[in-house]
Structure 1
Amino acid sequence: MLGCPCCDSAGRRSLLRGALGLGLACAAAPAPAQILGGAPRRIAIQRLQTGESFDGIYWQDGRYDREALQQLDWVLRDPSMEEATPMDPRLFDVLAAVAQRMEASEGYEVVSGYRAPETNAARARESRRVSRASLHMSGMAADVRLIGRESMGMARLAAEMQIGGVGLYRRDGFVHLDCGPARRW
């Protein structure tokens, strides 16, 4: 019988080494907020399915603008369910940081934002490429195109930045960006 990794000393040491390694990895990667600095943060997005858009400042004077976040939540809602959820504001920081590094003045086209669990489950049944534990269901991910930019270049730059998850869907012409742990596929 295996012991609990938190209770036996060998497991505890292994767990602590793993936590330390994760902490060092996180400390080494810059947070999107560090990249963006203290200036007002702006984002421009258009939801392809609805035609709705947001173009404005979502963070200034050291805090997120609650009204702007509510507008972004609605634009990024699950259009098949007409269901919105509070999106993680760090996602907007990731999007803004990538656009800034690409020196893009154009906005994002959003292919997919928040997904209700039912929508995600239906998509997972249709395609092996859809995770059953997708961060889209937590309001932490968006599948996007940056107008006028190659998806491969955007994915490569975002992966180098190590500020969240990056998935390149070359055939479909979009990039998955999220504010979860840095990883790529």
Structure 2
Amino acid sequence: MRLAPLGCPCCAAPAPGRRSLLRGAAGLLCAAIGGGAALAQVTAGAPRSLRIHRMQTEENFSGVYWQDGRYDREALKQLDWLFRDPAREEATPMDPRLFDVMHSVALQLDASEGFQVISGYRSPETNAARARESRRVSRASLHMSGMAADVRLPGRDSFGLARLAAEMQIGGVGLYRRDGFVHLDCGPARRW
């Protein structure tokens, strides 16, 4: 099979193999993260960990969620429950790429403190109720897909956190300065 660049069928190239795709993905990740400790740790396959405090439930997670080239299923189950919709006591499988975004941001900031999670998964009912209360809540929020979290890092300025995350271009970043938190997601790179 041959792949052609958009608009240029005459310049078709052979489909890349799996290894070249992986190398290319690692290269894109390198460019997105921008070097430093985060790049070295994520691309070298070092364990990935998070420290989380869930504000509404006072629950915590501190541990490794990815090691030896794969996600730790038990850690992901714990994180799924921690990121649940507390209004409905409903959990969903969170997209582990969200945890990678949070891990990468914490590495870039050299943050020893854990994230405070204000909002993780939102059921469609909870999201609809919030959207009726505030125009700032998207009716198509990635929170409903388990791909977003509203967070803060104690002792860190929300503007600085949002700016760094946006510069990394590894997902969506929203600054809610008045409320003192930052929206992070593993969707397309964008900011608001």
- Where do 5+ consecutive residues of structure 2 fail to align? 1-5, 8-26
Q: What percent of counterpart residues are identical?
A: 75
Query: Which one of 43, 61, 72 corresponds to residue 50 of structure 2?
Result: 43
Alignment equivalent of 1:81, drawn from 83, 88, 98: 88
Q: Which residue of 2 aligns with 1:57?
A: 64
Count of aligned pairs between the two proteins: 162
Cα separation, 2, equivalents of 1:27 and 1:105? 27
| CA deviation after TM superposition for structure 1 residue 108, in Å | 0.3
1:92-147 deviation per Cα after TM superposition (whole angstroms, max 9, x unaligned): 00000000000100000000000000000000000000000000000000000012
Aligned-residue offset at 1:30:
2.7
Is the counterpart of residue 96 in structure 1 residue 103 in structure 2?
yes
Q: Which residue of 1 aligns with 2:135?
A: 128
SS at structure 1 position matched to 2:139: coil
Q: Return 5+ residue gaps in structure 1 as ranges.
A: 1-11, 14-25
Task: Tell me the C-alpha RMSD between the 2 structures.
Answer: 1.9
Counterpart residue type for residue 86 of structure 1:
P
Q: What is the SS of the residue equivalent to 2:63?
A: strand
TM-score w.r.t. structure 2 length?
A: 0.80
Once the two structures are TM-superposed, the CA of residue 27 in structure 1 deviates from its matched residue by 4.3
TM-score (norm 1): 0.83
Residues in 2 aligned to 1:85 and 1:114: alpha-carbon distance in whole angstroms: 7
- Which amino acid counterpart does residue 141 of structure 1 have in structure 2? A
SS in 2 for 1:167: strand
3-state SS of paired residue (1:106): coil
